[in-house]
Structure 1
Amino acid sequence: MKRILNINKIIALVLGVILFHSCKTAVDGFGADPYAGGKEALGVVFERLNRPLPGVRPNDVFEVSVKGLLKYKTNLEVFINEEKSEVVSLTDSTLEVRVPLEVSSGGLKVKINDQVFFGPRVPIEGNVTFDTDYGIKNGFNGSVTQILPGSSGNDFWILGSFTDFQNQASATVFRRNIHKINAMGESVATTAGSFSVQKGAEGIINSMVRLPDGKYMVAGSIFAMENLNKHRYNLKSITRLNSEGSIDSTVVELINTTPEKPLNAYDTLPAFNAYLGATFSSGSGNVTNLFATPDSGVIAVGNFGVHSYIDYKYSSRESKLSVFTAVNNIVRLKADGRVDSLFGYNNVGANGFISGAIETNDGKIVVIGSFTSFNGTARNRIVAFNKNGTINTAFNVGSAANDEIYSITYNKTLNIIALAGRFTTFNGQAKPGVVLLKSDGSIIPAFTLGDVQQRIATYAYVMNTGQVLVTGDFERYDGIKRSKLLILEANGKALQKYNNIGEFGGMINHVIETTSSLGYPALLIGGSIGLADGRAVGGLFKLEVRN
């Protein structure tokens, strides 16, 4: 015990000596001063930062309250959204700035030598406006993959990967991957026979189409749906819904392994007896797009490799016998869920990933992705199919894209296809990031994307006006700092009046042309979006675009 105490005394003495010398070193000036080298405070202070500035237009002059600038007037620079701006006048309490001719909404900053002071946001007025009167505030807590106008024309089905909308979800209210909103962005009331998706879907819904009989088909990475009576329907990628959104189900007779329980001879199952799954080479098994057929069936496109259906004759409630058929990336399904064997006979599929598809007015299905061959035929990231499932050899894309295509959209009114992706050439022509095609696959030469400093475009859509909406990860367009959401002319030029909005953050999946809260033309935009015109959004917002 005594030895232990002596050791403890020695340790305490050593620590004391170390502490003494450490303190002495700091006092003697040998220790590093953590504040050494800091810049002298310049005394510049922006005032009233919590008061939004009124909107201004290019060449307008506006005033902000800021103290401490006058003595630095020969050394200061002013920027609006990173664009250098003219100082019109300066006092010790105010700064007058002229708005540049080319600029988007963004922050004001003052630079004095190498020190920067941030001021208020400067809203730039133009023809494009965030619709603040649209009813959605918090929005969805996930991604919107598709917006489908309802049969009434006054509402929209919203599909995607989410579990809440406007903070409405609860133990009895469900907003799982499928929802319906009215024209003002408000939830449609759940009503029997009108709108009732029960507990929604488990798994992402990528696509929804209305069938000729008024029902709907949905598909994606869905693996189950459950009704309010807690009956769970096990699914694989695809199913059919009734007109109000509940799963289309039927009672079928099966083998009864427990004869003493007569009700076990029956089970309630999805009426659409079809399941689409993955194989080793097909990818995830998800469906990217659906297209309705006149017989209330569908053409499905995606990263699946096998179709199955339940053979009721050899199935019981406890054990289901499935019959499998190889299908690769594209398949036509009849109204009962069976494969149309005449469609795309002997189809071996793509050697890469499927990203999306559209249907043209003449019935072609155009598919895009990362593949370089389809059904054993060389096809660089884009391929078109005839109504019978064979490759359309008249689709004139030539050597097509030299790198991956991320998105495809189609304007049915103008009959124009828009592609966006990592490619830099298309059919041998320089078309970096975005290319517009006629429905026969030939290039529309007038449009070329401007300088985005080698950044990537992820989405493009041709509006009914002929203008082109483009989004991507770019910071500047033709040398001007812009939002990551552009509205370009048919030749690719960015007119100031259509590119006035502020920062956009996210990826667009779908655009619908509609009207704003004031009745002007507008775009309803859905995707994985958290920011639009510098405002927080939840997957869905509306932009008014005046002509």
Structure 2
Amino acid sequence: MKFKYTALMIVLAGLATSSCKKQQTEFPNPYAGGKPPLGIVSDQQQIAVPEAGLPGTDVTITATGLMPYYEKKELKFLFNGVEAVIKNATATNITVTVPALASTGITSFVVGGQLVFGPLFTVQGKVNLDPTFATTIGTDGPVLKAYAVPSSTNLILLGDFNNYDNKNIIKPIRRLTRVSADGAWDRSFLSGGGANAALYDMTRIGPYYYIAGAISGYAQQSNISRITRINTSGVIDTTQVITYKLATKYVPSFNGGVTGGLVTRIYPVGADKMIVTGNFNYYVNRDYKANTYDYKDSTIIDSTQVTMLARINIDGTLDKTWRFDPNAAGYRGRPGRSLIGPNGNFVSLMHTDGKLVCWGNFVKFDNVDANRIARLTAEGGLDNTFNIGTGANNTISFVSYNAARNKYLVCGIFNTFNGKPAPGLVLLNYDGSVDESFTAKGFEGGFANHVKLLDDGLAVVSGFFRTYGGVARNGFMFLNATGALAEGYNNTGNFTGSLSDIYETRSADNKRALLLMGGFSLFDSKPRNNIVRITIE
């Protein structure tokens, strides 16, 4: 019966469809009213003459159908979105001059808003992919940080990846790995099973590394709350404990951490402390010798209300002399909690003198007005010498400090800073005032989310934008000290993704270089997965 009912429904549906088709046999043309084809023909696979060149180079490209538009002065020619001067056009080709701010990418013919694509053209300049960097395969997830190994040229890469240069077929790679200065994988790093979640930062205090992020386990060890300690070869540091029932157990030696969020930054403080920052709500440590009501072994986790910033001793205990009020009501009404901190998410950087710059989407810090950026003294209080006025009128994404220039470059989705125009970028003096020698030109199609201020006045800017100051720059650019696009440095092609860290280094042939890390799949219009090194001439 069910089969007959189903069959009947199918037949009825078919009849209904057939009826509809009979009733309406003519449909409107969806393309009616569109512009007629231009008649311009250009082979995208052809090679321009020359196929690469510096700004100012005359380039000839084969194309037909140009003359009607060239003679009427309706024809434009673009190098990756930047308009060029047309030197001449004939029935079979066009000659154009590479503009000063052109970048590598697809060329195009434009008439009245209609485009016909031409061949790829490589704009030569001062920024290039470094052929001496060992990996082009990269990682299978974001690289968030490069940590320079002390007394070595090696780097430890941290992030949320499980493969590097396809080397996980040899041994597991989970969230951290060690590489040479030129990117060659170091198989001698003994991280075992690695971390079970993203790693954001690490530091070294004494003979140990302290790693931090979203982790709750490392190399088959649990009982970790976002922070743990490993030795310099990558092995987790453990200690023996005797439980309530006199059983022997090996647990992480670092007995401390945070919950309610993750740790994004960790800084050494002297020889026996560290400061961690993130979006956490509690400090925790463990008692492995407690018993339950039925006399079984149990691990008791003790919690203290500590929000977003904490100073911790190297054994994992909380340092209650820094940003802590012992008399304030804390967890479950017990006395003692940290100072309030920011009222929104934030990120931080630490100066060599211990001052801590914090930025994000908060408007108050310790209940004091602080629009999206604040600086703390080494003692943990607000630094009153850092005067930002009314600050940023919207979220700050990233801040880069350059010690040689003693300035901060700030990016985000704001458009004013201390009441002054600052469309997505602003340069601050060390005292928090706006450096008006730098003028942001404005973004279209998005905003900048990462910056790096270099010693010579250049600045690297990346993010989710299409243009800067009306010039096509797809997510990556170099600016000069005034905030304008730096001529000769913006030749690279399209960038897809975002940056998390930029590490200044040298190439194998001793050129100035930058190691770029983040979550991206394309750099200079070429496939690159989350890590790439570029040279700067």
Fold similarity call, TM over 0.5? yes
Quote the residue 2:221 is aligned against.
232
Contact residue 79 and residue 98 of structure 2 kept, 8 A: yes
**Matched letter for residue 294 of structure 1:** G
Measured against aligned partners, the alpha-carbon deviations of 1:234-283 in whole angstroms (never above 9, x if no partner) come to 32111111111221111122212xxxxxxx611111110012011xxxxx
Q: Displacement, 1:125?
A: 1.4
Structure 2 Cα separation of the partners of residues 21 and 465 of structure 1: 71
Of 344-353 and 380-389, deviating more is 344-353
- Kindly indicate whether the alpha-carbon contact (under 8 Å) linking 1:159 and 1:205 is maintained by their aligned counterparts in 2: yes
Specify the SS of the correspondent of 1:169: helix
The residue type equivalent to 1:204 in the other structure is A
SS of structure 2 residue aligned to 1:528? strand
CA contact (8 A) 2:362 2:370 kept: yes
Q: Distance in 2 between matches of 1:57 and 1:373?
A: 49
Q: Partner of 2:328 in structure 1? A: none
Aligned to 1:487: 478
Distance 1:17 1:122, change over 3 A: closer
Indicate which of 487, 510, 524 corresponds to 1:496. Answer: 487
Deviation at 1:48, TM superposition (A): 6.7
Q: Identify the match of residue 218 of structure 1 among 211, 215, 223.
A: 211
- Evaluate the alpha carbon distance shift between residue 19 and residue 123 of structure 1 in structure 2; reply closer, same or farther with a 3 A threshold: same
Q: What's 1:148 paired with?
A: 147
Name the CA distance, whole Å, in 1 between partners of 2:396 and 2:303: 31
Report the equivalent of 1:462.
453
- CA 19–332 in structure 1, closer or farther in 2 if over 3 Å, else same: closer
Q: CA deviation at 1:340?
A: 0.7
How many residue pairs get matched?
Answer: 511
1:251 to 2:240 alignment: yes
In the alignment, the residues of structure 2 paired with residue 136 and residue 413 of structure 1 have an alpha-carbon distance, to the nearest angstrom, of 31
1:31 and 1:369, CA in 2 relative to 1: closer, same or farther beyond 3 A? closer
Query: SS in structure 1 opposite 2:201?
Result: strand
| Aligned partners of 2:348 and 2:356 also within 8 Å | yes
- The AA in structure 1 aligned to 2:215 is I
Q: Aligned partners of 2:449, 2:18: CA distance in 1, in Å?
A: 61
Q: Give the C-alpha shift of residue 332 in structure 1.
A: 0.6
Alignment-derived partner of residue 184 in structure 1: 182
Which structure 2 residues correspond to residues 32-47 of structure 1 after superposition, within 5 A? 44-47=40-43
Q: Quote how far apart the aligned CAs of 1:478 are.
A: 1.9
Distance 2:319 2:112 in 1: 72
Matched to 2:141, the amino acid is: G
1:298 maps to a residue whose letter is M
* Counterpart amino acid of residue 56 in structure 2: N
2 CA distance for matches of 1:113 and 1:369? Answer: 43
Q: Which shifted more, 146-155 or 454-463?
A: 454-463
| Local SS of the residue matching 2:60 | strand
Is residue 192 of structure 2 the alignment partner of residue 203 of structure 1? no
Aligned CA distance change for structure 1 residues 35 and 383 (closer, same or farther; 3 Å): closer
Residue in structure 2 matched with residue 55 of structure 1 by the alignment: 52
Q: Deviations over 1:102-144 (max 9, x none)?
A: 3222211123566532111111112111224422212111111
Q: C-alpha offsets along residues 49-106 of structure 1, whole Å, 9 cap, x if unaligned?
A: 1758632122211122335545664364322222232333444443322222332222
Choose from 387, 401, 415 the match for 1:424.
415
Tell me what 1:277 maps to. Answer: 259
One-letter amino acid matched to 1:149: A
- More deviation in 521-530 or 107-116? 107-116
2:430 to 412, 423, 439: 439
Q: Please name the residue that 1:542 is paired with.
A: 533
Q: Counterparts of 1:418 and 1:82 in 2: how far apart (Å)?
A: 27
Which moves more between the two structures, 408-417 or 159-168?
408-417
Task: Give the letter for the 1:220 counterpart.
Answer: G
In structure 2, runs of 5+ residues without a counterpart are 326-337
Q: Tell whether the 8 Å contact from 1:406 to 1:459 is kept in structure 2 after alignment.
A: yes
Corresponding residue for 1:259? none
Q: Secondary structure at the match of 2:488?
A: helix
Tell me what 1:173 maps to: 171
Amino acid at match of 2:300: L
Aligned: 1:376 with 2:376: no
1:531 and 1:62 map into 2 onto residues whose CA distance is 26
Which amino acid in 2 is paired with 1:369? G
Letter in 1 for 2:266: L
Structure 2: distance between partners of 1:324 and 1:164:
35
1:510 partner letter:
D
**Separation in 1, partners of 2:20, 2:150:** 83
In structure 2, what is the equivalent of residue 261 of structure 1? none
User: Is the Cα contact below 8 Å between 2:101 and 2:490 reproduced in 1?
Assistant: no
8 Å Cα contact 1:360-1:415 kept in structure 2: no
Distance 1:384 1:39, change over 3 A: closer
CA separation of 1:289 and 1:16: change in aligned 2, threshold 3 A: closer
Q: In the aligned structure 2, how far is the partner of 1:133 from the partner of 1:50? A: 29
C-alpha separation in 2, matches of 1:81 and 1:506? 18
Query: Which SS does the other structure have where 1:225 is aligned?
Result: coil
Q: Offset of 1:531 from its aligned partner?
A: 1.7
In 2: Cα distance, 1:408 partner to 1:17 partner:
61
Equivalent-residue separation in structure 1 for 2:31 and 2:385 (angstroms): 71
Corresponding residue number in structure 2 for 1:340 = 319
Could you say which residue in structure 2 is the equivalent of 1:260?
none
Q: In structure 2, do the counterparts of structure 1 residues 128 and 509 end up closer, same or farther at CA, with 3 Å as the change threshold?
A: same
Question: How far, CA to CA, are the matches of 1:20 and 1:405 in structure 2?
Answer: 57
Look up the match of 2:87: 88
Q: Secondary structure at the match of 1:420?
A: strand
SS, match of residue 527 in structure 1: strand
Give the C-alpha shift of residue 187 in structure 1.
Answer: 0.9
Q: Distance in 1 between matches of 2:204 and 2:466?
A: 39
Per the alignment, do residues 318 and 63 of structure 1 end up closer, same or farther by CA in structure 2, a change over 3 Å counting? farther
Contact 2:132-2:508 at 8 Å conserved across structures: yes
Tell me, in whole angstroms, the C-alpha distance in 2 between the residues paired with 1:329 and 1:17.
62
2:284 corresponds in structure 1 to 308
Distance 1:176 1:156 in 2: 16
Q: Which residue of 2 aligns with 1:65?
A: 62
**Structure 2 residue identity aligned to 1:290:** I
Decide whether the 8 Å contact of 2:501 with 2:517 is kept in 1: yes
Q: State the match for 1:102 in structure 2.
A: 101
Residues of 2 paired with 1:127 and 1:55: CA distance?
14
- Choose from 297, 312, 318 the match for 2:273: 297
What corresponds to 1:362 in structure 2?
353
Tell me which amino acid in the other structure corresponds to 1:188.
Answer: D
Once residues 286 and 477 of structure 1 are traced to their aligned partners in structure 2, the CA distance between those partners, rounded to angstroms, is 34
Distance 2:21 2:316 in 1: 84
Deviations 1:273-320 (A, max 9, x none): 012011xxxxxx111111101123210111111111112342699520
C-alpha contact 1:434 1:460 (8 A) present in aligned 2? no
Q: What is the distance in 2 between the residues matched to 1:402 and 1:40?
A: 47
Deviations 1:302-354 (A, max 9, x none): 11111111123426995201222121111110011001111112233235333
In the alignment, structure 1 residue 322 sits paired with structure 2 residue 301: yes
Deviation at 1:439, TM superposition (A): 3.4
- Confirm whether residue 135 of structure 1 aligns to residue 126 of structure 2: no
